[in-house]
Amino acid sequence: MTTIEENVLLTETGPGTPCGEVMRCYWQPAALSEELPLGGAPVPLRLFSEDLVLFRDDQGRPGLLGIHCAHRGADLSYGRIEDGGLRCIYHGWLYDVSGRCLEQPGEPAGSTFHERVRKRAYPCREVGGIIFAYMGPGEPPALPPYEFITAPETHRSNSKVFQECNYLQANEGNLDPVHLSFLHRIFARETRGQQGLNAADTAPTIEAEETEWGVRIYSIRKAPPDQNYVRVTNYCLPNFSMVSGSAEGYTVNWHVPIDDEHHWYWQIRFSRLASKDDSPRWNTGRREEVGPDYRKVRNRANRYRQDRATMKTETFTGLGRNFLPHDSCATEGEGPVQDRTEEHLGATDRGIMAARSVLLRVIRQVQAGQDPPMVFRGAQAAEVPNVVVRNDVLIPNTVDWHNYWDDESVDQELVRA
């Protein structure tokens, strides 16, 4: 059982909190490159309960600073992009991307006061259409060269959406393969493929094993007469998951806290084989569900536009066919921060239990002054593990699913949705 103390430990990520300190050891997605075009407006941003401004200087470099001007606290997101930095509109102080104060035009000529002013600034790296930020102490580690961010632009897609709940409960949805047999049911699709297999066995066997990146989760559904439908998903420290994969590629769901009651749900998809122009894999229908402000069209305020008439004929939820409203309704419905002392975890929640225990252990490790797993320094950066993600394999029920991807003698049958 998760205690009140553990729940606080796992869910609070503001400055100085133990889990917040863990999160800050890793590069985290801060914004999409498209939010910050050259010459565009600075973006006010809240991350890990800190108010920040993200801007791109006139040379194209992204910078992430505390939002309040070091002079008398004006909001720098209204500032001017010019002269190698971001200039406050109140009295013209100018900051560069590293937080140095370059100018204080109201001070007497020859003043060196500006040299003694430094704003809090967090390093940024822009890769794969995403601006990542490092908000931790000391020298930043390497940004791991994950395949999903280094894939060519034509072979990946990124999106983000505002979620009205704590990051953890949303990420735990990724570690719970059983809800596929309920929450995401679309009746018309149940005659075939993955949807049919998920509907046919609603009580899969779930196994979880610890790995160097977090937890690997297997779900095994019986596929009569003599096969198993096996899915492999992964929890990756500290706040993302890899789901919905095949030999072609997979989907990353990354849940970045805004504060303890809101987060950005990033979805990064990539393909090793097919560009965006020639694979149905890219059409997730998400675009119709998310507005230009990265907010959901179906949301808590409009009860996700649930249409109860369609619950008889079309979907289990009455929330349309796109998975985003389904998952949002389920996880935001748990409350701003789920009270885990009230839950009753069953045999199907093994992935969630394993991920919590790994994260709790890592929190204690960081409290003891150690580097957490998956923080890469120097040459280690090239050693990002090859995380297997599959949701498309049927194998004979005589085969051990744990290592089936290593066993070339097994004739794997790909399941298409």
Name the binder of 220 from ligand FES, Fe ion, none, CB < 5-8 A by kind: none
Residue 127 pairs with which residues in a beta bridge? 130
**Nearer to ligand FES (CB atom), residue 72 or residue 377:** 72
Minimum distance from CB of 285 to ligand FES (Å)?
44
Pair of tokens at residue 67: 């939002």
Instruction: Compute the half-sphere exposure of residue 279: CA atoms within 13 Å on the CB side of its CA.
Output: 18
Instruction: Select the span of 85-93, 246-254, 307-315, 392-400 touching ligand FES (CB under 6 A).
Output: 85-93
Closest distance to Fe ion from the beta carbon of 253 (Å): 9
From the list Fe ion, ligand FES, none, pick the one residue 287 interacts with, judged by a Cβ distance below 5 to 8 Å according to partner type.
none
Number of residues that bind ligand FES (CB under 6 A): 9
Cβ 294 to Fe ion shortest distance, Å: 19
266: helix, strand or coil:
strand
Using alpha carbons, select from 263, 266, 271, 238 the residue that is nearest to residue 252: 266
Tokens 């992009």 belong to which residue? 81
Other C-beta atoms lying within 10 Å of the C-beta of residue 310:
16
The answer to whether residue 182 forms part of the interface with ligand FES (CB under 6 A) is: no
- d(CA 221, CA 84) in angstroms, rounded, equals 58
Pick 75 or 207: Cβ nearer ligand FES: 75
Beta-ladder partners of 100: 118
Q: Which is nearer to ligand FES, 93 or 218 (CB)?
A: 93
H helix or E strand, kind and range, residue 122: strand 121-122
Q: Which stretch binds ligand FES (CB under 6 A): 83-91, 115-123, 294-302, 360-368?
A: 83-91
Nearest approach, Cβ of 102 to ligand FES (angstroms)?
A: 12
213 binds, among Fe ion, ligand FES, none (CB under 5 to 8 A by kind): none
The residue with its CB nearest to Fe ion is: 327
With vertex at residue 415, the alpha carbon angle to CA 195 and CA 384, rounded to the nearest 5 degrees, is 105
Distance from CA of residue 412 to its chain's centroid?
30
How far apart are alpha carbons 394 and 383 in whole angstroms?
Answer: 30
Distance CA 277, CA 264 (A): 27
At 159, is the secondary structure helix, strand, or coil? Answer: strand
Does 332 sit near Fe ion (CB under 5 A)?
A: no
Please, which residue, 93 or 404, has the CB nearer to ligand FES?
93
Which of Fe ion, ligand FES, none is residue 88 near (CB under 5 to 8 Å by kind)? Answer: ligand FES
CB nearer to Fe ion: pick between 28 and 171? 171
- CA torsion, ordered 144, 246, 151, 269, to nearest 10 deg: -90
- What does the alpha-carbon distance between residue 146 and residue 242 come to, in Å, rounded to a whole number? 12
Least spacing, CB of residue 118 vs ligand FES, in Å: 14
Pick between residue 86 and residue 366 the one whose CB is nearest to ligand FES: 86
**CA 244 remoteness from chain centre:** 14
Pair of tokens at residue 59: 């040379």
Site for ligand FES in 60-79 (CB under 6 A): 69, 71-72, 74
By the 8 A CB rule, do 349 and 204 touch? no
Query: In this chain, which of 12, 50, 147, 327 binds Fe ion, going by CB under 5 A?
Result: 327
Give the nearest distance from C-beta 93 to ligand FES in angstroms: 4
- Binding residues for ligand FES, rule: CB under 6 A, are 69, 71-72, 74, 88, 90-93
Q: Which residues bind Fe ion (CB under 5 A)?
A: 327
